[in-house]
């Protein structure tokens, strides 16, 4: 078994971003800027936002935190997005999801300028990913591809099974594997025989949110196993969707949780913000 170390790969991505950001900030007299909006007091979301601010500092970006109370109205949030769309110091805008129930998430995402949509959730960016002509990729699937590449694994012609079909992970993940000529199967909560669908996968990506759902009997000998899941086990310890202890001896490559996909998601957000900044100045 080869462990794919997400922390190491993420550090390399961030290091490259920092180098570019330093050089370009000197050229243009302004740093790349990321605005993060957090509405309400969900503790997990608060941690994610804090981490994003920390990552910005690490790579030499400006960060703008907008922490709003749970009582924020749709109109107030829309006004903030409009203001950030117009702000020249802001190159990327991210609205931390989920939003409180009374807010219309889709309307907010649609209001973000697609050029600043560093999550790649805007329908224009989603459509561009579909046709393979994009500026940004959603951070988690992009991070997974980066991990696969870092291990020197070619996707072309391989049987790839993605478990999960969410708009932010499963669906774009399947699309990216398809772009690299994988033969892709997408499984979900209505899939009849999950084990059968997983068993012949050369590359297995689990993005479900169910602790230790994927066991060794569902994995092909030597397969590449990428675990996107972030769950708590019976002892409250962070764990993935893959039963790491049993699968690690059967897999050819495997990502751990923590220390696998998570750090990559964060690193790819920095990369996307740099891309948005470069495009704002007309460079690739
Ligand atoms: P989601 O709840 O939106 O989607 C889960 C998907 O799993 C659905 O498409 C559903 O059909 C499928 N599913 C549910 N039960 C299933 C079953 N028994 N068999 C097969 N499929 C089943 O979740 P999401 O936002 O896509 O996130 C998935 C997991 O990835 C979560 O644990 C989340 O915390 C984690 N995540 C991690 C990162 C990261 O950076 N590491 C980023 C995003 C999400």
Give the domain CATH number at 146.
3.40.50.720
Residue with the nearest Cα to atom 22 of ligand 1?
A: 189
Q: Which of the 8 DSSP states describes residue 224? A: E
Q: What is the mean pLDDT of residues 193-217?
A: 98
The answer as to whether 123 is a domain residue is no
Mean residue pLDDT of the chain comes to 97
Q: How far is CA 5 from CA 9, 261, 264, 284, in A?
A: 7, 9, 10, 29
User: Which has the closest alpha carbon to 210: 193, 190, 226, 227?
Assistant: 227
Q: Count of domains in the chain?
A: 2
* SS3 label, residue 205: strand
CATH number at residue 108: 3.40.50.10860
Cβ(251) – ligand 1 distance below 6 Å: no
The answer as to whether 94 is a domain residue is yes
Residues 81 and 178 reside in one and the same domain: no
Evaluate if residue 269 carries a pLDDT over 90: yes
Ligand 1 centroid – CA 172 distance (Å): 13
Give, for ligand 1, the residue of 209, 227, 260, 263 to mutate: max count of ligand atoms closer than 8 Å to Cβ.
209
Q: pLDDT tens across 65-122, in order? A: 999 999 999 999 999 999 999 999 999 999 999 999 999 999 999 999 999 999 999 9
- The helix-helix angle for 6-28 and 139-150 (nearest 10°) equals 110
Cβ(189) – ligand 1 distance below 6 Å: yes
The answer as to whether 15 is a domain residue is no
Nearby residues of 190 by Cβ (< 8 Å), 6 or more positions away: none
The answer as to whether 281 is a domain residue is no
Cβ(207) – ligand 1 distance below 6 Å: yes
Give residue for tokens 């969410």. Answer: 166
CA dihedral 147, 207, 176, 165 (to 10 degrees): 180
Residues 109 and 143 reside in one and the same domain: no
Q: What is the mean pLDDT of residues 198-210?
A: 98
Evaluate if residue 284 carries a pLDDT over 90: no
The answer as to whether 178 is a domain residue is yes
Q: What is the mean pLDDT of residues 38-62?
A: 96
Is 217 a catalytic site residue? Answer: no
Cβ(164) – ligand 1 distance below 6 Å: yes
The answer as to whether 63 is a domain residue is yes
Nearby residues of 196 by Cβ (< 8 Å), 6 or more positions away: none
- Domain holding 78, by residue range, is 29-113
The answer as to whether 121 is a domain residue is no
Is 83 a catalytic site residue? Answer: no
pLDDT band at 276 (very low <50, low <70, confident <90, very high): very high
Give, for ligand 1, the residue of 119, 189, 192 to mutate: max count of ligand atoms closer than 8 Å to Cβ.
189
CA torsion sign, 138 to 166 to 112 to 45?
Answer: negative
Question: What is the reported pTM?
Answer: 0.97
Q: Give all strands of the β-sheet with 253-254 in edge-to-edge order.
A: 2-3, 253-254, 224-227, 203-206, 159-163, 183-187
Ligand 1 centroid – CA 150 distance (Å): 24
| Catalytic-role residue among 31, 96, 202, 227 | 96
Query: Cis peptide before 93, with omega less than 30 degrees from 0?
Result: no
Supply the pLDDT for residue 194.
Answer: 98
């Amino acid at each position: 078994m080869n462990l794919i170390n997400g922390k190491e790969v993420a550090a390399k991505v961030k290091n490259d971003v920092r180098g570019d950001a330093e050089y370009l900030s000197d050229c243009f007299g302004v740093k790349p800027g990321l605005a993060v909006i957090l509405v309400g007091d969900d503790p997990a979301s608060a941690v994610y936002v804090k981490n994003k601010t920390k990552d910005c500092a690490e790579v030499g970006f400006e960060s703008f935190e907008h922490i709003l109370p749970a009582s924020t109205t749709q109109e107030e949030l829309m006004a903030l997005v409009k203001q950030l769309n117009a702000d020249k110091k802001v190159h990327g805008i991210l609205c931390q999801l989920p939003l409180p129930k009374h807010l219309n998430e889709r309307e907010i995402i649609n209001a973000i300028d697609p050029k600043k949509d560093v999550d790649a959730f805007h329908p224009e960016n989603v459509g561009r990913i579909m046709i393979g002509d994009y500026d940004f990729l959603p951070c988690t699937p992009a991070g997974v591809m980066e991990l696969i590449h870092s291990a020197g694994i070619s996707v072309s012609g391989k049987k790839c099974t993605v478990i999960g079909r969410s708009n932010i992970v499963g669906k774009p993940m399947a699309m990216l594997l398809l772009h690299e000529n994988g033969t892709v199967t997408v499984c979900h909560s209505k899939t009849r025989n999950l084990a059968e669908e997983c068993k012949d996968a050369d590359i297995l990506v689990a993005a479900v949110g169910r602790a230790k759902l994927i066991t060794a009997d569902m994995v092909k000998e030597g397969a590449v196993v990428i675990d996107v899941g972030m769950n708590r086990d019976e002892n409250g310890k962070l764990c993935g969707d893959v039963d790491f202890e049993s699968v690690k001896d059967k897999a050819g490559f495997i990502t751990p949780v923590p220390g696998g996909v998570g750090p990559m998601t964060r690193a790819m957000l920095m990369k996307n913000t740099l891309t948005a900044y470069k495009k704002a100045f007309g460079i690739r």
